Amino acid sequence: DAGVIQSPRHEVTEMGQEVTLRCKPISGHNSLFWYRQTMMRGLELLIYFNNNVPIDDSGMPEDRFSAKMPNASFSTLKIQPSEPRDSAVYFCASSLGGSANYGYTFGSGTRLTVV
């Protein structure tokens, strides 16, 4: 298995533009998580899905952020409009059955810079 695949690896965009981050989880994993990592706030859980259904989006910072999982092999995180404070590394992770018995497999992340 190629692991969790995220694209793009790097994204530089101007303030006000729409940004879409993509994630392909490991085949067979039924839980998917989006995290954001910054120096100031560390790793923050934004939203997670179980069997393609959003379970908890309480970590999504604002209405500018939205996430979808149209099928078991694909998820997107969209920021519209983007702001400089959204600059961070965004990670997608997947797991088999949440994390009660198994760890998460993380992607390599998307480094987002909003100028």
**Closest among 55, 110, 57 to 82, alpha carbons compared:** 110
Q: How near is the Cβ of 29 to another protein at its closest, in Å?
A: 13
Nearer to another protein (CB atom), residue 59 or residue 81: 59
Nearer to another protein (CB atom), residue 81 or residue 89: 89
- Work out whether 100 is an interface residue with another protein (CB under 8 A): yes
**SS3 label, residue 23:** strand
Q: Kindly state the helix (H) or strand (E) to which residue 32 belongs, with its residue range.
A: strand 31-38
Beta-carbon contacts of residue 90 (< 8 Å; ≥ 6 apart): 6, 21, 34, 35, 36, 37, 77, 109, 110, 112
Q: Hey, which residues between 34 and 93 contact another protein (CB under 8 A)? A: 35, 42-43, 45, 48, 55-56, 91, 93
Would you tell me which residues interact with another protein (CB under 8 A)? 4, 33, 35, 42-43, 45, 48, 55-56, 91, 93, 98-109
